Amino acid sequence: MIQILKNAKLLHRCVDYLTHQIESRMPLVPVEVADEKSSMLEADDILPRPEKSPARSPREESPSDRSPQNSFNISVCGEEEVPDFHGCGITDILTCISPERPVMRPNWPSLRNHLIVRCDDVEEPLQDYVCPNEEHVRQIIQFGHDTLNRNRRGDTVNILVHCAAGISRSTAATLLILSMKMGKGTEAAAMRHLTSIRPICRPNAEIVRHGDRLLQREGRIIQQVTMWKMRHYPAAAVYG
């Protein structure tokens, strides 16, 4: 049984690695989140992806320069893509990463807050792995509340959420924040928004399950993720 679990873990990591290789070749677009009363996002809300280019001069326009005042933007990426967002006015970073993995806080003048949530990308308890639990998800939700409250007070908020590959933990956390921003009853729109900015996503089932309950969404977030996984990742579309 121990050998089977080890093989399953190895296969899981291989799948994540291969998926990341595919995902890293796809464009990434920071987007502006719709207001709570909105159920759809317009194409004009999408901001261009920061290009991999030499550092901008202080006078050169960046995506953050083009953001309207008091805007709320959220982007998702893998850890290798984080440096691409230098100069984009990122104010808050949420890192969902394994306990043993080192994390560097970017030295960006605009950065106000960097939360690190330590959990592995697993969806059930496994020996030697830290499965996402309620406390981890409470940290994510509190991060969302804090940034949304600052935005309501008039601050422009540009969030970057990342995990190792930008596929599972980070997309689950982003979906919860989108659901909080857009309000109850807009879970389908939140899922569409997520998949439009991160088409290769596979939100972590445990983060979604705890988040749906803590946000009192009565299974609606779970339902949206399950439907997405059934279409794109049939083997992963089972919730305990």
Mark residue 102 as left, alpha or beta (left: phi above 0; alpha: psi -120 to 50; beta: remaining). Answer: beta
Segments making up each domain of the chain, as ranges: 2-49+62-236
Location of structure tokens 């008039």: 154
C-beta atoms surrounding 133 within 10 Å:
13
Average pLDDT, integer, range 216-233: 95
Q: What is the structure's pLDDT at 234?
A: 76
Burial class (CB in 10 A: 0-12, 13-18, 19+), 167: buried
- Quickly state the pLDDT bin for 236 (edges 50, 70, 90): low
Give me the residue label for tokens 């990742």: 233
Residue percentage of the chain with pLDDT more than 70: 69
The CATH fold assigned to 2-49+62-236 is Protein-Tyrosine Phosphatase; Chain A (3.90.190)
Average pLDDT estimate for 125-139: 97
Q: What pLDDT, on the 0 to 100 scale, is given for residue 217?
A: 98
**CA–CA gap between residue 201 and residue 47 (Å, rounded):** 19
Between 67 and 59, residue with greater pLDDT: 67
Is residue 24 very low, low, confident or very high in pLDDT (cuts 50, 70, 90)? very low
At 96 the pLDDT is 99
Dist. CA 88–CA 58, nearest whole Å: 12
- pTM of the shown model: 0.73
Whole-Å CA distances, 222 to 205, 208, 225, 239:
8, 6, 5, 8
* pLDDT at residue 238, rounded to an integer: 54
pLDDT band at 69 (very low <50, low <70, confident <90, very high): low
Task: Give the pLDDT band (50/70/90) at residue 235.
Answer: low
**Does the pLDDT of residue 6 top 50, yes or no?**
no
Q: Mean pLDDT over all residues of the chain?
A: 80
Q: What is the pLDDT of residues 135-188, one digit of tens each?
A: 999 999 999 999 999 999 999 999 999 999 999 999 999 999 999 999 999 999
Task: Give me the pLDDT at residue 92, please.
Answer: 99
CB 179 within 8 A of CB 190: yes
- pLDDT at residue 121 greater than cutoff 50: yes
Checking DSSP bridges between strand 92-97 and strand 157-163, what pairing results, if any? parallel
